[in-house]
C-alpha cells in the first residue's frame, strides 16, 4: 500500500496570497493564464473579511455533479473536499498528490482496483453528519447516475472509467474500474469529485438509497444559498448567493466552524465576500476606489500595466495551470476537414499576440497541457507561428 504523509487543506491560495491587490491575468486562444497559486515569500497579514472583485460568474451551479465552469469550480474548491489534493505549485505528477479526505490509498497490480482509507472524525458543516465511506459511494454513484444525454453535468466521463464503488467498511472504500486509468488520482482530486452531503444533493438519488434529500433547486434560481450548495466539508460555507435574474451579484463564504483542518489554522479568514462586476472597466474602477481587496479575472492588459506601476498596490504574478484555447466545430464544413483546422492553427501568431495584445504579460502555449505539468509537449509548435505558406498550401489542396 502506498503510504503518504498527512496534510491539511486550507483556503484557496488565490485568497491566501492576497494583501492589497492580487491580479490574475486571463488570456485567449493558445496563451497561458497566469493564475497565482503560490505563497509569497513574506508573511501576509490577512483581514478578517476579504472582498474579492471579479468579472467572472457561476455559469451553472456549485454542485460538483453539475458545475463545469471556472468560477463554479473556484467556489467548490473552497467549500468542498476531495479524497486527495494536488500539492500547490507542483506539476501534478504521481508524487504530487497529497491526502485530504483519504489518508492513504492502494492500487492493485492490474490497475483496476483502488482502495482508499478515509479520514475519521470529519463532519459536514452541520456538525451532525459524520463523513464516511457511504458518502463517497453516494457521491460517485450520483455522478455516474445523472450522466444521461439529457443530464446537466459535465460528468468527466466517470461512467466510462468507474465500474462500481464499494463500501468496504465505515472508513474504507473501493473503486472498481472498467479500465486501468493512470490519471485516477487526478480524477479524484478535481472539484467534480468533491464529496456531497446526501441531505442537500438534489431531488435525484440512486436506486436503492433511502436518503431523503431536501427539495433542492439544482441550478442557481433558488432563494436559499444552502439549498444550492451540497458540500461544506471544506474550509468555507456558502451562506449567501445573490442574483438578479441570471446575473450574479454577490456571494458570501464564511469560515466553516467544523472544518477538519481547523487545528492547523485553517481557514485563514473569517469571511470572503465575492462581488461580481459586469466589465473589466467596472472592476478597474472598484480597484481604484479601494472597494475590493482582490481582483480576480478579468482585467485588460493596459489596466494591469497601470496597476503594476501604482505604488499603492502590490501585484503578484505567477504561472498557473489554467489555459484557454480555440475549439473547432468539427462536424460543420469546412472544419470537418483536418487540413482546414491545421491551416487555421498554422496562421496563429502567438508571440505577436503576446507582445502586442497582452503587452508581454503572458507566454505562448503550444500544447493543451500547460508547461510544467506532466504530459506537456510542444506538439503544436510543429505547425509554426504565422506560417502562412503552410496555411495557403493546405487550403489550396481544398480548392480555396
Q: CA-to-CA distance for 309 and 296, rounded, in angstroms? A: 18
Mean pLDDT of the 269-281 span: 95
Q: Mean pLDDT, to the nearest integer, of 292-316?
A: 87
Order of all β-strands in the sheet with 113-118: 102-107, 113-118, 172-177, 162-169
pTM of the model: 0.76
Residue 47 has pLDDT above 50, yes or no: yes
Query: What residues contact residue 309 under an 8 Å CB cut-off, 6+ apart?
Result: none
Q: Is a pLDDT exceeding 90 seen at residue 343?
A: yes
Name which of 38-52, 57-71, 111-125, 156-170 the model is least confident about. 38-52
What are the boundaries of each domain within the chain?
Answer: 328-397
pLDDT at 108 over 50: yes
Our separate counts of H helices and E strands in the chain read: 10, 14
Grid look-up 448567493 returns 241
Counting every residue written for the chain, the total comes to: 400
pLDDT at 323: 77
What is the CB neighbour count within 10 angstroms for residue 5? Answer: 8
Please state the rounded mean pLDDT for residues 41-53. 80
Q: Give one word for 271, left, alpha or beta, with left for phi > 0 and alpha for psi -120 to 50.
A: beta
For residue 14, pLDDT beyond 60:
no
pLDDT of residue 386: 96
- pLDDT at position 222: 42
Amino acid at each position: 500500500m502506498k503510504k503518504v504523509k498527512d496534510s491539511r487543506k486550507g483556503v484557496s491560495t488565490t485568497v491566501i496570497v492576497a494583501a492589497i491587490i492580487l491580479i490574475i491575468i486571463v488570456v485567449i486562444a493558445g496563451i497561458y493564464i497566469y493564475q497565482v497559486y503560490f505563497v509569497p515569500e513574506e508573511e501576509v497579514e490577512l483581514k478578517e473579511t476579504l472582498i474579492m472583485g471579479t468579472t467572472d460568474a457561476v455559469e451553472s451551479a456549485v454542485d460538483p455533479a453539475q458545475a463545469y465552469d471556472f468560477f463554479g469550480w473556484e467556489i467548490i474548491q473552497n467549500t468542498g473536499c476531495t479524497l486527495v489534493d494536488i500539492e500547490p505549485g507542483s506539476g501534478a505528477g504521481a508524487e504530487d498528490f497529497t491526502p485530504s479526505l483519504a489518508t492513504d490509498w492502494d492500487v492493485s497490480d492490474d490497475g483496476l482496483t483502488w482502495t482508499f482509507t478515509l479520514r475519521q472524525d470529519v463532519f459536514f458543516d452541520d456538525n451532525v453528519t459524520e463523513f464516511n465511506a457511504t458518502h463517497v459511494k453516494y457521491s460517485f454513484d450520483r455522478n455516474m447516475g445523472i450522466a444521461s444525454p439529457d443530464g446537466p453535468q459535465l460528468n468527466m466521463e466517470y461512467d466510462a472509467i468507474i465500474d462500481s464503488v464499494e463500501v468496504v467498511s465505515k472508513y474504507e472504500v473501493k473503486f472498481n474500474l472498467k479500465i486501468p486509468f493512470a490519471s485516477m488520482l487526478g480524477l479524484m482530486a478535481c472539484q467534480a469529485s468533491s464529496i456531497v452531503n446526501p441531505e442537500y444533493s438534489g431531488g435525484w438519488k440512486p436506486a436503492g438509497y433511502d436518503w431523503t434529500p431536501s427539495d433542492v433547486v439544482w441550478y442557481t434560481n433558488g432563494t436559499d444559498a444552502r439549498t444550492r450548495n451540497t458540500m461544506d466539508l471544506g474550509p468555507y460555507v456558502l451562506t449567501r448567493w445573490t442574483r438578479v435574474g441570471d446575473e450574479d451579484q454577490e456571494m458570501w463564504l464564511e469560515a466553516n466552524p467544523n472544518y477538519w483542518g481547523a487545528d492547523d489554522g485553517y481557514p485563514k479568514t473569517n469571511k470572503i465576500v465575492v462581488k461580481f462586476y459586469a466589465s473589466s472597466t467596472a472592476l478597474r474602477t472598484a480597484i481604484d476606489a479601494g472597494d475590493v481587496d482582490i481582483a480576480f479575472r478579468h482585467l485588460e492588459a493596459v489596466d494591469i500595466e497601470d496597476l503594476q506601476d501604482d505604488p499603492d498596490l502590490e501585484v503578484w504574478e505567477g504561472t498557473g495551470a489554467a489555459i484557454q484555447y480555440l475549439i473547432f466545430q468539427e462536424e460543420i464544413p469546412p472544419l470537418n476537414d483536418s487540413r482546414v483546422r491545421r491551416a487555421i492553427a498554422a496562421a496563429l501568431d502567438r508571440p505577436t499576440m503576446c507582445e502586442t495584445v497582452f503587452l508581454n504579460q503572458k507566454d505562448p502555449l503550444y500544447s493543451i497541457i500547460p508547461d510544467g505539468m506532466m504530459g506537456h509537449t510542444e506538439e503544436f509548435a510543429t505547425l509554426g507561428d504565422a506560417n502562412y505558406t503552410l496555411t495557403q498550401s493546405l487550403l489550396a489542396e481544398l480548392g480555396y
